[in-house]
């Protein structure tokens, strides 16, 4: 299958690849032969280039002060340019490099949900990090949980969160809300109105009311809600819509 690129897109890719070649000549000269990049690209060199491209730099190539990071879409364009380089040369991207270019999210799959009772689809849910706001970063929260729980021995349950996670979380949530009942009252929120489903309802409401945010259907599918007998037969979850929801939910 031939891939066609617009002139503007091709021009942007070629400029990115010029920066890649210049960076490789400085940092990984062994990846250049006769002025051309050796393909498939070394994953270590690719990772270094993406790390270099993540930071905003001045005309000399030095980092701007204070340090500023580029947007996700800008870095993602670099990934697309690297894939474009391989396709133009008719060289297959290595499995390790393919994983590196695609692995920008934690992927979770449920055995079954309300809108998939038999687990027929098992569509993945994409969870993204938010390094700019650690307080709401799900990846950081998961890392803290894993590294502070220690080794679980002598138990039959293999769950990361241990046994009776739902009950323990509900008890913790009630206790935490009671400690901050005064602050919650100032926002017009009662402790008794907050439960374990408040998180799902809150995120779904926030995303559905965000201008330019993900489509409501994608939000419902991400939440695992049924769309009805008719819509459920014709509308299915896809990776693109779920990634949009996951990135918007991460802030």
- Alpha-carbon distance of 78 to 74, in angstroms, equals 7
| Residue of 213, 221, 200 lying closest to 247 (CA atoms) | 213
Residue partners of 49: CB distance under 8 A and separation at least 6 = 20, 23, 24, 78
Buried b (16+ CB within 10 A) or exposed e, 22-37: ebbeeebeebeeeeeb
pLDDT at res. 2: 40
Q: How many Cα atoms sit within 13 Å of 2 on the Cβ side? A: 2
pLDDT at res. 60: 84
Query: What is the reported pTM?
Result: 0.57
- Torsion, Cα of 89, 93, 97, 103 (10° steps): 110
pLDDT for residue 91 is more than 90: yes
Per-residue model confidence as pLDDT tens digits over 104-129: 778 888 777 766 677 676 778 888 88
pLDDT at res. 233: 61
What is the domain partition of the chain in residue ranges?
7-102, 106-249
pLDDT at res. 52: 92
Mean pLDDT (the chain) is 82
The answer to whether 49 touches 24, Cβ cutoff 8 Å, is: yes
pLDDT at res. 9: 79
pLDDT at res. 236: 62
Residue with tokens 């949009």: 244
Residue partners of 5: CB distance under 8 A and separation at least 6 = 13, 84
Q: How many Cα atoms sit within 13 Å of 176 on the Cβ side? A: 9
Bigger pLDDT: 183 or 233?
Answer: 183
The answer to whether 249 touches 207, Cβ cutoff 8 Å, is: yes
The answer to whether 191 touches 181, Cβ cutoff 8 Å, is: yes
pLDDT at res. 232: 57
Average pLDDT score over residue span 193-222: 84
The answer to whether 39 touches 91, Cβ cutoff 8 Å, is: yes
pLDDT at res. 3: 47
């Amino acid at each position: 299958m031939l891939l066609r690129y617009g002139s503007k897109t091709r021009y942007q890719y070629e400029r990115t690849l010029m920066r890649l070649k210049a960076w490789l000549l400085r940092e990984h000269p062994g990846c250049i032969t006769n002025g051309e990049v050796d393909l498939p690209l070394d994953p270590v060199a690719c990772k270094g280039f993406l790390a270099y491209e993540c930071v905003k730099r001045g005309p000399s190539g030095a980092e701007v002060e204070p340090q500023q990071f580029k947007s996700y879409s800008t870095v993602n364009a670099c990934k697309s340019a690297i894939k474009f380089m391989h396709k133009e040369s008719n060289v297959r991207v290595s499995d390790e490099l393919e994983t590196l270019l695609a692995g920008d999210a934690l992927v979770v799959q449920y055995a079954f949900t309300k809108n998939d009772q038999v687990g027929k689809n098992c569509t993945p849910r994409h969870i993204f990090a938010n390094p700019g706001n650690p307080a709401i970063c799900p990846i950081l929260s998961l890392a803290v949980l894993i590294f502070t729980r220690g080794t679980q021995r002598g138990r039959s349950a293999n769950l990361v969160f241990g046994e009776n996670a739902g009950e323990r979380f509900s008890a913790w949530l009630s206790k935490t809300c009671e400690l901050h009942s005064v602050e919650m009252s100032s926002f017009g929120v009662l402790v008794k109105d907050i439960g374990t489903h408040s998180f799902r309802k809150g995120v779904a409401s926030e995303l559905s009311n965000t201008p330019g945010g993900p489509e409501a259907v994608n939000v419902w599918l991400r939440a695992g809600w049924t769309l009805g007998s008719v819509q459920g037969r014709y509308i299915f979850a896809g990776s693109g819509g779920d990634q949009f929801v996951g990135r918007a939910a991460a802030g």
